[in-house]
A and B are shown apart, each in its own frame.
Chain A
Amino acid sequence: MLVFIGYILGFLGVALFFISGIGLLRMPDTLTRMQAATKASTLGSLLVILAIACFEPQWTLKLIVLAVFILITNPISSSLLAMTTYKRFYKHVVNTSGADALKGEEK
């Protein structure tokens, strides 16, 4: 039973990786591409880790550590990439309120 759940979770994770790959190729510019790549691959890798935990239940502790590491590092790197892209290419784009959206970040 556990193995069956593991197969389903693994298939979902790999499907999400596939979708993120398609998004990386099809999306028009950097920010949307990043959205496709980071969101889908974070969820995908978490699902794959869950699937491995279903296959080998004695590895669960190590896999939890791995999942926490992915959950910490992935948002940091994606936020940095997005901020750098914004500062380099989208600085001149003014949003509807007329203010710089990242004004609070730059001290």
Chain B
Amino acid sequence: MNLKKVLPLKHIVLSLLSSALLLSVVGLLMQVKTDMFKNVGTIYLNLNMQTAAANAVTSVVTFFRGIDTVGEVTVLFLATSGVALMLSATQRTCDKVVKQESFILNAGSRLLLSVIILFGVYIIIHGHLSPGGGFQGGVVIATAFLLLFLANPNMKLSHGILTLGESLSGATYVLVVIIGLFKMNILLGNFLPHPIGEIGELISGGIIPVVYILVGIKVGSEMSVIVEYFVKEDYYKEVCDA
């Protein structure tokens, strides 16, 4: 708590010196001709016109490097399976009711839940127009459920619906990748119509919004399950082991 104890004068001076060093290095780097850094970015920006997505990062993530996103989704699925496997065994045996937190947090979390989920859905759907996308929006939805579980640990998510949504969206994503292979002869080919004139509109960019919505559903359900297991493990340990 005491700032003087945490940050003595010696450390402040040290941090000032090190940041001055860092800034001088950054300044030296700024002196370098910027032409040598321009290549990759300009090439991607020129290629971005083909995909008709207003957000250039989106077309890199879901289109030019789309296979990476497939791999990331697989990694996240494996992580969720590991967490569920590790933590579900201890929670199945205990059915006691945990004391819920204060009334103010309960009322506030119910008030904020719909707003936060709406914001997450907005981020997912507008992923090809503005910053954000499937992964960020899914995690925003998961933080809404984190708030709900912190307020009332007795709340239960319907695991059937979550499993159904997660597996269906994952399977559809792989299906989209393979359809692209058959119709356009490349993996993740943009087989839906994507005229450049529609750039900046909500329905534009061919498969890019479809892929982001699928990734958003998948990430949202997986992260919600992870959050649920983490919070409940803590509370159940307090109640059931006592």
Contacts and interface: CB of A to CB of B under 8 A. Distances in A.
Chains A and B touch each other in the complex, with CB atoms below 8 Å apart:
yes
Interface of A: 25, 30, 69, 72-73, 76, 79-80, 83, 105
B102 A83 contact: yes
B21 to A, nearest CB: 28
B242 interface: no
A contacts with B: majority SS: helix
Contacts of A76: 104-105, 108
B112 to A, nearest CB: 7
A86 to B, nearest CB: 11
A69 B115 contact: yes
B43 interface: no
Interface of B: 1, 3, 102-105, 108, 111-112, 115
A56 to B, nearest CB: 18
19 contacts: A25-B3, A30-B1, A69-B115, A72-B108, A72-B111, A72-B112, A73-B108, A73-B112, A76-B104, A76-B105, A76-B108, A79-B102, A79-B104, A80-B102, A80-B104, A80-B105, A83-B102, A105-B102, A105-B103
Nearest to A107: B99
B71 to A, nearest CB: 36
Contacts of A72: 108, 111-112
A69 B102 CA distance: 20
B118 to A, nearest CB: 11
Nearest to B107: A76
Nearest to A105: B102
A30 B1 CA distance: 9
A28 B112 CA distance: 33
Contacts of A73: 108, 112
B116 to A, nearest CB: 10
Contacts of A69: 115
Contacts of B103: 105
